[in-house]
Structure 1
Amino acid sequence: MRDILPDLLAVLGGADARPVALCRVIATSGSAPREIGASMIVTEDATVIGSVSGGCVESALVHTALQVLADGVAVVEQFGIEDPRDPAPGLTCGGQIDVAVERIEPTPERLGQLQRLAEALAADEPIAVASTLTALPEWYLATEASRPPWRRLDHDVADMLATGRSGVIGIDDCEVTDPDAATDDRPRTFVQSFAPTARLILVGANDFVRSLSSLGSMLGMRVTVVDARPVFATRERFPDADEVIVGWPDRYLAEQIRDRQIGSTTALCVMTHDTKFDVPTLRTAVQSSTFGFIGALGSRRTAADRNRRLRDEGVDEEQLSRLRSPLGLDLGGHTPAEVAVAIAAQLIAERHGAPAEPLYEGAGPIHRR
């Protein structure tokens, strides 16, 4: 929506203000032509601004948008693989997209929300737009200091914003009638975040890293694998990673810190089992205050020996306290996939400040606030 926001404000806030239909991609699968959040607007005279598929389904969406403008009832359209035997529009790329279409009125409230969004984007302030996928959508803006007033969704929206993810949360068949009511309603809601995507930097090029890179990608993180050995650090071995870097990990981290590419949503997992990589990499990381999470794989004996080496390299106790090692929760697993689950579980638990205890042993609401 970032690209069409100036046009949206111009149409809604101009002298000839009039409603428009806003079409946004809320979900994708396969080789989709556009990413989640891709948007276009349609005016009452069928003027189209923006694109959701690069031309594959826009004509069909114009018809839907005009209907939504006429009756005001929001809908979600789904477009899949193009079938020459089916007259319905489809995607030639072989993917699938879900597109939400809603009527946007030039009201002071909606204009204020859009202007606040534009101000946040101009200032590089993390912000998310949460809108219910109901017949008459409700909109709320979420920042790091404020959350939507839904008791069962506020934490979910905040988590999406904190990790820079966009997507659908909640469940179907829940209408927002009283946002302050203490009910279990979790209305199906599209959250579009405008914030840096959470990063997962994995040091090492082994089977444990391969499993964790796949899981990190599934969790919506931008995954980077770093290893100095070109024979192991290959795209073929880590197909789910966003990037595979061949180079000394400590030098790569130093460059990323210098270029301000590391932040509070960056997690570092060192999984090399080799002191010539581990020690300089961890020293570089713990001596920086920018990482959100720093962990290292290994036994308790390995962790104790590594801590001693780090102290010898000038790392003080406060800096060493940032290191989580041995890495992962105690789930009893041993295989690369099981270890990856244990590490991912720890990343999730620490991000939420959760105790990582079995739910059946607890009491009260499952969804944390």
Structure 2
Amino acid sequence: MRELLEQVLGVLAHEPVALARIVDRTGAGPRETGAAMAVTADGRVIGSLSGGCVESSIVDTAGVVLRDGVASIERFAAADELAVGLPCGGEIEVFVERLDRTALPLLHALSTALRAGQAVAYATTLESAPDRALLYADRVEPRRGLGRDAGPPRGEAAVAREPAPDRQLVYLGRIAPWRALDKDVAALLGTGRNGLIGGQDGTPAVTARPRTFVQVFRSPARLILAGANDYTRALTVAAGRLGYHVTVVDARETFTTPARFPAADAVVVDWPHRYLDTEFRAGRIDDRTVVCVLTHDPKFDVPALVTAVRLPVAFVGALGSRRAHDDRTRRLREAGLTDAETARIRSPLGLDLGAHTPDETAISILAQILADRAGATGHPLDTLDGPIHRP
């Protein structure tokens, strides 16, 4: 959507457009979720969804949506001789909605955020008459004269701001459903990935929490794994499913190869502490970054941990037994770390799940990272009171 936003804004100043986006994808597909195509009233097409597989069908749907103003959902599976479909064999779900001048304030705000390099999520309820919202990663100043109860400015749709924890929610139209969905949007924004939220079938929450597509404009949160071993390989697979951009770094060239870690986004041959320092100085480490040291070798893990705990990262963990932890803690103090600094290190790393294999251990580690990120206990839900999904 980013690549066609300015063109859509130019058209919307004069006439409505139909915006089609891939909101869900299963299996192989030509493009990722969030890929967009716009269609004007005279049939002009901006952008692409699939490189030609389904565009003609979407153009027809867009004409109906433009005429009737009712949004539509189209689903495409593997192609056969009788139906339009995807030759790659996957499945996609495409949401087609009508945009007019009332969408301009929100889309201009999105354009401004993107030009400023600001992390932002664009949320759309997948309904016949969709609601739309922006959720920023950073606080923004309220627009003067507009608030929760303010009426729309002359010639524009209402743009109100509703606070979320440490963030600011900007939405069009009615306050609902964003009070019920903003925590879910914020969770996706935190990891930097698109997703579908709400719409759980068979629960009373469907009305208050409609099915919603959240398109996130932000780089994914990073997981940096120091050490090239079987536990690292298992973590690259599992963490990738959670939306992390995973880097494996180790100074041993023989073990640190892309072939050994095909699920990693990057495989780097370097000393971990030197790599961390270089990435921080380049501005590629932030307060969402997770660092896990899995080397089991003091000459690697001690310098890496000394560097990591002094960076503004979200989480630092170190794998090993309690005996290894005690020995490592002694070495870290000898290297100059204070008690407060060593306390930042989650070690032994992982929750008590009875994990033994690398795959089981990866789940144990990621469970602790998720609990730490959410400020959750990590206790069994049946031993706790109150709502499962807490504010």
Alignment TM-score, normalising by the size of structure 2: 0.86
Q: Does 1:294 align with 2:316?
A: yes
Q: Does 1:358 align with 2:385?
A: no
CA contact (8 A) 2:199 2:205 kept: no
Tell me by how many angstroms 1:174 deviates: 9.4
SS in 2 for 1:298: coil
Q: Does 1:11 align with 2:11?
A: yes
CA contact (8 A) 2:350 2:361 kept: yes
Counterpart of 1:96?
91
Counterpart of 2:194?
166
SS in 1 for 2:93: strand
RMSD: 2.0
Counterpart of 1:205?
228
The amino acid that maps onto 1:2 is R
SS in 1 for 2:377: coil
The amino acid that maps onto 1:76 is I
Matches of 2:207 and 2:353, distance apart in 1: 30
Tell me by how many angstroms 1:172 deviates: 5.3
Tell me by how many angstroms 1:278 deviates: 0.4
Match of 1:142 among 115, 135, 155: 135
Tell me by how many angstroms 1:323 deviates: 1.3
Matches of 2:45 and 2:251, distance apart in 1: 49
Q: Taking every aligned residue pair, what percent have the same amino acid on both sides? A: 53
Superposition pairs of residues 218-257 of structure 1, within 5 angstroms: 218-257=241-280
Matches of 2:207 and 2:76, distance apart in 1: 31
Gaps of 5+ in 2: 138-166
Q: Does 1:318 align with 2:346?
A: no
Matches of 2:386 and 2:344, distance apart in 1: 31
CA contact (8 A) 2:121 2:134 kept: yes
Counterpart of 2:109?
116
Matches of 2:33 and 2:96, distance apart in 1: 14
Tell me by how many angstroms 1:230 deviates: 2.5
Match of 1:157 among 171, 175, 185: 185
Counterpart of 2:365?
343
Matches of 1:9 and 1:185, distance apart in 2: 30
Q: 1:357 to 1:173 in 2, by over 3 A?
A: closer
Superposition pairs of residues 249-268 of structure 1, within 5 angstroms: 249-268=272-291
Counterpart of 2:25?
28
SS in 2 for 1:119: helix
Tell me by how many angstroms 1:114 deviates: 0.7
Superposition pairs of residues 174-189 of structure 1, within 5 angstroms: 185-189=208-212
The amino acid that maps onto 2:380 is P
Matches of 1:48 and 1:184, distance apart in 2: 34
SS in 1 for 2:180: coil
Q: What are the Cα deviations for residues 331-357 of structure 1, in whole angstroms up to 9, with x where unaligned?
A: 122221111111111111111111122
Tell me by how many angstroms 1:23 deviates: 0.6
CA contact (8 A) 2:200 2:206 kept: no
CA contact (8 A) 1:157 1:191 kept: yes
Moved more, 133-142 or 313-322: 313-322
Tell me by how many angstroms 1:366 deviates: 1.5
Matches of 2:278 and 2:74, distance apart in 1: 44
Q: What are the Cα deviations for residues 232-268 of structure 1, in whole angstroms up to 9, with x where unaligned?
A: 2222222211121222212211211111111111111
Counterpart of 2:304?
281
The amino acid that maps onto 1:344 is L
SS in 2 for 1:140: strand
CA contact (8 A) 2:199 2:206 kept: no
Superposition pairs of residues 58-97 of structure 1, within 5 angstroms: 58-83=55-80, 85-86=81-82, 88-97=83-92
SS in 2 for 1:351: helix
Q: Does 1:37 align with 2:59?
A: no
Matches of 1:37 and 1:184, distance apart in 2: 24
Match of 1:271 among 284, 294, 313: 294
Matches of 1:171 and 1:182, distance apart in 2: 7
Moved more, 355-364 or 38-47: 355-364
SS in 2 for 1:360: helix
Tell me by how many angstroms 1:62 deviates: 0.5
Aligned residue pair count? 356
CA contact (8 A) 1:126 1:194 kept: yes
Q: 1:104 to 1:344 in 2, by over 3 A?
A: same
Q: What are the Cα deviations for residues 119-146 of structure 1, in whole angstroms up to 9, with x where unaligned?
A: 1111111111111111111111111322
Gaps of 5+ in 1: 176-180
The amino acid that maps onto 2:305 is L
The amino acid that maps onto 1:361 is T
Moved more, 252-261 or 233-242: 233-242
Tell me by how many angstroms 1:186 deviates: 2.3
